Structure 1
Amino acid sequence: MHSNSIDIRQLEAFAAVVSAGSVTGAARLLGRSQPAVSRLIQDLEAELGYALLHRSSGRIQPTARGLRFHAEVERHLASLIHIRERAEAIGRDEPATLTVAATPSLAAGVLPQALAALPGELIPRHLHVQSLAAENVVQAVIARSADLGISSLPLEHPGLEIHWIAEAPCVVAIGADDPLANDDVVRLSDVAARRVITLANPYRLRHRVDEAFERAGVAPERIIDVNASLTALSLVRAGLGIAIVEPATIRGVPLDGVVMRKLDQNIPFLFGVISAAALPLTPTVSAVIDAARVQSLAMPGCRLLEANGTDALADSVYGQATISEGTPR
């Protein structure tokens, strides 16, 4: 890298080109001339010492290095925006900007209700909600690009403070006209006879679903795996199968034509709220932590685990059941 410093305008130009797909489009987004944007990109590439964009036949695409650098640029620009918002909030003596990162199911099924329960004076002028994969939620909190995270387990990391951990039994989502919808409790053996829709991540909920089928002595022959519960519910509504999901999504985003039923096997969904270790909590963040706990406990069968969460963390890593079947819930 050369001795000159990177200019924020160069980063904005690069981000705009990637977003728009062309220098012309980026120029319109930024309100600059096309030659000015081109020069900013060229100067940035000269400063970095490698190409960020492929240019051929009038088309522009990020290079492999450009794609990796773009992810860093997006985070940096977002941080600058947040700093500006927080500075303005301090000047107005208002609650600071809040950024919450949550997995899609919890962003849909817990967070909206928690935020809606906050007293008006605690809701900041700028509120950022990021729906991310669980691993990215953890990284966002550790990097302090998010003030708070709501994620499925495992959450074990020395840079995290875990405020509470909860467990809720998974449910089965069924088309309302399906004969199984007439049952209050659906047998896992009946589920296995159908096309089963479930989550794909083998290190989180999926391994618990697989263990439950193994305990029941059955194995589904037809499976659709997805990376978000809302996708699973949409597939159920389209008549493509029945889904085993955590209860948060179907509670937060109920779909016409899809009903939720209990399973005869306990498949625990574990999740919690995290923040960066040793980071003082603002009144707003503390209120969100408490409100998210209240909303989580409103889910059928949800309960809090021990305060320190040690056993739950170990169970989430090693895939052991946190409670025995038949334990009162």
Structure 2
Amino acid sequence: MSIMDLDDLDLRQLDAFAAVMSAGSITGAARLLGRSQPATTRLIQDLETSLGYALFHRSGPRISPTEQGVLFHEEVERLLVSIRHIRERAQAIGRGDARPFEIAATPALSIGLVPDALAMLEPHLLPRLLHVQSLSAEHVVQSLLARAADFGVASLPIEHPGIDVHWVGEAPCVAAVPAGSPLAAQEMVRIADLAGQCIITMANPYRLRRRIDEALAQAGVVPERMIDTNASLAALAMARAGLGIAIVEPATACGLCPEGLVLRPLDVNIPFLFGTLSPTAKPLSATIVAFNDALQAVAARRLPGFRLHEPGRKDTLADAVYGATATATAPAAPAISKRGSAR
């Protein structure tokens, strides 16, 4: 392997690499870039020479990314997005426009709350350039810490010394039931009714999935099958297709429920917790303040059972997010409770 000479890297090479990854072929990338195929091939070869490793496996006209190519693409994609934003900001400065507003939100919240909150803002508060990134909660935090985003909306847990939490909301999860299912005729879905059913839900074991698994275990419910996904909208689509009953957070379900599904409350409270975030010590603009208030108003109007937590009450929040911790002297009450019982 040759020694890397990264001083030779240029944006044309990175653009060519990103285009090949998107198109899946040199020919497709050349068409995307408006370049000739030999020129695009040469840019990729020069990039590999500078890096000192191959980005693609080659088998005749077919190519596929190497493991190093996949990893490198993650970095290049972030860089190219940043460069595009820098260009946009430079143009905005030249025109005297307001600074672009960068929002990072989890998919559920970018679908369920963000659009209506933005629609509530006065036109003069919206800059000409507005970027909404749909990211995992972990990547929302990373974007805020890197100052790549001005404001974040994400599910909990989120505890980081570089992040300010402005408010925390809670709303119970709901069951999304195909309209033709017998359960659709019920006003409420009992967790016991899900025994022997296919349950569709979230995959991340450190967030909502853990609370759903706890609820099923406490009720002694054994599903026939579990299907998990990283997006609530995908869970809803699979429930609509008749694959099972989806247990999802309420933001996506109440904000964009597909036709053919009905939403029903569960007889146990499976809390979905989320909050609004910004980098610590970064002043909030008038746009951010208004957007933060609008998000809370939309959540209160749209999400059944919505309530606010005080971000400063860390013990209460920890119990709600992680589940109450049992002690040697007395067991603490569980965070997941029957509807109507004390929490």
TM over 0.5: yes
Alignment of 1:12-27 (within 5 A): 12-27=15-30
Residues 1:190 and 2:186 are matched in the alignment: no
Residues 1:147 and 2:150 are matched in the alignment: yes
Q: 1:106 aligned to 109, 113, 118, which one?
A: 109
Deviates more, 1:163-172 or 1:13-22: 13-22
Residues 1:303 and 2:289 are matched in the alignment: no
Q: CA RMSD in A?
A: 2.2
- Equivalent residue for 1:241? 244
Question: CA shift at 1:176, angstroms?
Answer: 2.3
Q: Residue 144 and residue 5 in structure 1: after superposition, are their counterparts in 2 closer, same or farther (change >3 A)?
A: farther
Structure 2 gap ranges (5+)? 325-333
- Equivalent residue for 1:267? 270
CA distance in 2, matches of 1:148, 1:304: 19
- Equivalent residue for 1:211? 214
- Equivalent residue for 2:43? 40
- Equivalent residue for 1:51? 54
Question: CA shift at 1:41, angstroms?
Answer: 2.1
Structure 1 gap ranges (5+)? none
TM-score when scaled to structure 2? 0.88
The answer as to whether partners of 1:164 and 1:309 remain within 8 angstroms in 2 is no
Residues 1:201 and 2:204 are matched in the alignment: yes
Question: CA shift at 1:328, angstroms?
Answer: 7.8
Percent identical: 59
What SS does the corresponding residue of 1:157 show, helix, strand or coil?
Answer: coil
Q: Residue 283 and residue 163 in structure 1: after superposition, are their counterparts in 2 closer, same or farther (change >3 A)?
A: same
Alignment of 1:131-146 (within 5 A): 131-146=134-149
The answer as to whether partners of 1:154 and 1:316 remain within 8 angstroms in 2 is no
CA distance in 2, matches of 1:312, 1:123: 36
What SS does the corresponding residue of 1:185 show, helix, strand or coil?
Answer: coil
Q: Residues 275-299 of structure 1, C-alpha deviation per residue, up to 9 Å, x if partnerless? A: 2222232322222222111111221
Tell me the amino acid that sits aligned with residue 158 of structure 1.
P
Residues 1:61 and 2:56 are matched in the alignment: no
Q: Residue 279 and residue 327 in structure 1: after superposition, are their counterparts in 2 closer, same or farther (change >3 A)?
A: farther
The answer as to whether partners of 1:51 and 1:65 remain within 8 angstroms in 2 is yes
Tell me the number of residue pairs that the alignment of Structure 1 and Structure 2 aligns.
Answer: 329
The answer as to whether partners of 2:175 and 2:266 remain within 8 angstroms in 1 is yes
Question: CA shift at 1:6, angstroms?
Answer: 2.0
The answer as to whether partners of 2:170 and 2:308 remain within 8 angstroms in 1 is yes
Question: CA shift at 1:315, angstroms?
Answer: 3.1
CA distance in 2, matches of 1:233, 1:18: 30
Tell me the amino acid that sits aligned with residue 199 of structure 1.
M
Question: CA shift at 1:327, angstroms?
Answer: 5.9
Deviates more, 1:152-161 or 1:35-44: 35-44
Moved beyond 6 Å, runs of 4+: none
CA distance in 2, matches of 1:170, 1:64: 38
CA distance in 2, matches of 1:102, 1:29: 29
The answer as to whether partners of 1:201 and 1:227 remain within 8 angstroms in 2 is yes
What SS does the corresponding residue of 1:224 show, helix, strand or coil?
Answer: strand
Question: CA shift at 1:323, angstroms?
Answer: 8.0
